[in-house]
Amino acid sequence: MGRGKIEVKRIENNTSRQVTFSKRRAGLLKKTHELSVLCDAQIGLIVFSSRGKLYEYSTHPLSMAQIIERYLTTTGTHILEHDNREQIYNELTRMRNETHNLQLSLERYKGHDLSNAKLEDLDPLEQQLESAINKVRARKFQLLQQQLDNLQRTVILHSLFFHNINMHLL
């Protein structure tokens, strides 16, 4: 009894799709190996899963790089190698400078190492510190006001309590 034909379309259920991928990938790798052995074919197979995991097969004794190189030579295709070492170096240098400047700023905020600071560096620092002090004072005043309000409510409740006790005693 043979298997029935299935409609070839995307499997919506994630679990079913993953199971089908694993089984069919294994079958594809097996068929690829059989084809290479039976027909003495040089094969390179690359598969990326939906999660980005790489699966590959290359005919023994060749490596995938050798098969790709042969493909490029045969088709006359060239892959432009983008050397981005300079770009990475520039980004690294920029990030190091930014980190250094942030560390200096932090040290200055703490009051350390102000001996090398210039006047134009100290004015904004002074303004930021004054702003911070004002925020701290505002929060402190707010908390003191809340405590005062709580104490006033407590005094009122106590006086009402004692007033009621005095009224019952009379």
Which CATH number characterizes residue 22's domain? 3.40.1810.10
Residues 124 and 152 in one domain: yes
pLDDT digits (tens, 9 = 90+) for 55-75: 999 998 889 999 999 998 998
Beta-strand relationship, 54-58 and 44-48: antiparallel
Q: Are residues 129 and 145 in the same domain?
A: yes
Structurally, the chain folds into a number of domains equal to 3
Q: Which domain holds residue 165?
A: 117-169
Residues 70 and 21 in one domain: yes
If asked whether residues 22 and 41 sit together in one domain, one would say yes
Say if residue 42 is in the same domain as residue 88.
Answer: no
pLDDT, one tens digit per residue, over 108-164 is 777 777 777 778 878 888 888 899 999 999 999 999 999 999 999 999 988 888 888
Reduced to 3 states, what is the DSSP secondary structure of residue 1?
Answer: coil
